[in-house]
Amino acid sequence: MSAIRVTVWNEFRHEKNDAKVKEIYPRGLHQVIAAALATDSDLEVRTATLDELHHGLTDEVLAGTDVMIWWGHMHHPEVSDEIADKVVKRVWDGMGFVALHSSHFSKPFKRLMGTECNLLWREDDKRETLWVVDPTHPIAAGIDQKIVLPRTEMYGEWFQIPTPDEIIFISWFEGGEVFRSGCTWKRGKGRVFYFRPGHETLPIFHNPEIQRVIHNGVRWAANRTP
């Protein structure tokens, strides 16, 4: 079977402008995610970022991507409508789409959902526990009952998304909130996975369990039938 071609897209601004973020992700959080995936020889991983020409997403790159991972935060409006629509179109045509953390507000994700995707949030650097509520789902493979993150940003309900096809993780936050943290939808021929963790000021993407879930999510979104 041919390789699964993955493109990790990152806004890549915080890492250049904020010393704290730079320390955690000196080359950008996309590089940490890409490196974790690259240990799987079935995957061919490349990256793309906002400030590249066409945000790094030329027609050729899009056509050659089986699964796209997306991380955006403060600069969603700077993603051109044209590129956002091309990404959405590729999902309809079969590309998998893994939206991380604050990408709930990204143009491609909102257009795929058809909703506002609003939520509660608070920077409080307290504990989050992601409970597995669908333990035999391939995206939860290797995760035993829960993932504990000692310090995270809080996201709370009501998360304004369409009814998920599947809910895999529900988060508990020390400050008193809950959140549907791992959700899937089908859109056309493409599979979409939203995964909550990932604030830029915390080393979330260095966590092996988070890397494992993203890796599982990529393989699930690629929808390769043995």
CB of 107 to a copy of itself, least distance (A): 12
DSSP tag of 206: G
- 87, 102, 138, 182 from 213: Cα distances, Å: 23, 17, 9, 10
Q: With contact defined as beta carbons under 8 Å apart, do 183 and 212 qualify?
A: no
186-205 footprint of a copy of itself as x/- string (CB under 8 A): xxxxxx--------------
Pick from 75, 126, 178, 203 the residue near a copy of itself by CB under 8 A.
178
CB of 48 to a copy of itself, least distance (A): 22
Establish how many alpha carbons lie within 13 A of residue 92's alpha carbon, considering only the half-sphere containing its beta carbon: 10
Which of the ranges 21-29, 52-60, 68-76, 167-175 carries the binding residues for a copy of itself, by CB under 8 A? 167-175
Region label for 25, one of left (φ > 0), alpha (ψ between -120 and 50) or beta (otherwise): beta
Which phi and psi angles does 221 have, rounded to 5°?
Answer: -70, -25
Nearer to a copy of itself (CB atom), residue 32 or residue 95: 95
The answer to whether residue 223 forms part of the interface with a copy of itself (CB under 8 A) is yes
Residue ranges in contact with a copy of itself by CB under 8 A:
42, 88, 92, 94, 111-116, 129, 131-136, 138, 141, 145, 156-160, 162-163, 165-167, 170-173, 176-178, 180, 185-191, 216, 219, 223-226
